[in-house]
Amino acid sequence: MALYGGIADFINNIYENGFILLDIAPKHIISIIDLPFIHRDPFDRMLVAQAIAENISIMTTDTSIMKYNIKTIW
């Protein structure tokens, strides 16, 4: 996937479309401790932990992420 316009334009598009960038907070780290080891990718596990801690949905087609008890969109 190419990022036409570079990373700065990509980030601007995130904000222009009403999304926010979510920092990693201590409550996300705490949430990941008890997370079942369904997904092996540490980045995806952190996304799941954030979704749980923030009670938000994840937009994904990753079937491993969909196995967690979280809301997914796609």
Biggest distance spanned by C-alpha atoms of the chain: 39
pLDDT greater than 80 at residue 2: no
Residue 28 inside a domain? The answer is yes
Give pLDDT, residue 4: 82
In sequence order, the 6+-apart residues with CB closer than 8 A to the CB of 29 are 49
Residue 25 inside a domain? The answer is yes
- Give the pTM: 0.81
- The three-class DSSP label of residue 3 is coil
Residue 2 inside a domain? The answer is no
Residue 37 inside a domain? The answer is yes
| Model confidence pLDDT, tens digit, residues 8-54 | 999 999 999 999 899 999 999 999 999 999 999 999 999 999 999 99
Residue 8 inside a domain? The answer is no
pLDDT greater than 60 at residue 1: no
Residue 54 inside a domain? The answer is yes
Number of domains in the chain: 1
pLDDT band for position 69 (50/70/90)?
very high
Q: Which range marks the domain in which residue 62 is found?
A: 20-73
